[in-house]
Amino acid sequence: MDLRQLEILRAIAEAGSFTRAGAKLHVSQSAISRQILLLEEEFGEPLFIRSVGRVQMTPTGEALLQLSHRVFADIRDTASSILDHQRTLTGTLTIGGGMTVGMYVFPALLKEFSRIHPGVEIKVVTSGAARMLRQLRAGTVDLALLTLPISDTVLRADPVMREEMLLVLHPDHPLAKEASAITAAQLHGQPFITFEPGSNTRRVIDEFFVREEIAPRVVAETENVEIAKAMVGAGLGISLVPFQAIAREAAAGTLRYARVAGPPLVRTTGWVYLQTARVPRMVQAMMETLMRVAPHLNLTPDSEPA
């Protein structure tokens, strides 16, 4: 059995007759018949049931047809992969994410990616998770960095970062003067500025409130972490945000952060993209770049809060 014979088998299955298969492959009907006969002799089984004007494939022929699909798909994918690695990346890659990753992850990530792949034009889209998932399914966004989990049968999610969520407080807030981790009991009734309902980050925070039996007083909801920080800075309440969003303010002393006693509160962020037989090389390259950049991001404090 060779590739030409498998190609002939596929042509007969698609065309429905030996004559039309021969015309499609630009060979004579007798040559087509000869190759099928050789296959039937090799396997000791007929591949087609011949009748006037049509042919019907036998179970053995069907098994070989499925084999041909796998073989030619592997050849196509391998050839594409080799060509991908032989040429410089060019084209457009559209990536998406929420406000936090857009502000604190994408700048360093895209700077490094552009340094390595200057021929790729990158477009950035920021929106809520629900809209981003629709864009991924529609193919208008190639790759998105979102809070997990994501449940969607046509999308794949690969976890890449675990971000610690910390309390952020005005420096004059009474809890900011605590020398150790703040207990759940101390958060009862506190005015909270939190993320918008429906987001996965809000889900992580709400699950934390339920688990720790905290009854917060939500005074504001926003998708923008900068708005949340501004409200905390104005003394309107406290918030729970990823550490990387407040690292600069904490170092400058304009905001304080604290942990809640118990296991660390974390959110998992991951790449989300369409399920396909072969991940596009530009998408792979972006994901590989984040693996190099992630260790340099402020995902968690290096020391206890000051």
DSSP run (H or E) holding 5: helix 3-15
Assign residue 213 a region (left: φ > 0; alpha: ψ between -120 and 50; beta: otherwise): left
Instruction: Say what angle helices 18-25 and 29-43 make with each other, to 10 degrees.
Output: 110
Structural domain boundaries in the chain: 3-86, 91-160+269-296, 164-267
Fold of the CATH domain 91-160+269-296? D-Maltodextrin-Binding Protein; domain 2 (3.40.190)
Rounded to whole angstroms, how far apart are CA atoms 44 and 32?
Answer: 18
Q: Using one digit for the tens of pLDDT, what is the confidence trace for 27-48?
A: 898 888 898 999 889 989 888 8
Instruction: Indicate if 164-267 has the same CATH topology as 3-86.
Output: no
Q: What is the CA radius of gyration of the chain?
A: 29
The reported pLDDT for the residue numbered 166 is: 92
What residue ranges of the chain have pLDDT lower than 50? 303-306
CATH 3.40.190.10 fits 164-267, yes or no: yes
pLDDT of residue 179: 60
Task: Supply the pLDDT for residue 283.
Answer: 94
Q: What CATH number should be reported for the domain whose range is 3-86?
A: 1.10.10.10
Angle formed at CA 141 by CA 135 and CA 147, multiple of 5 degrees: 75
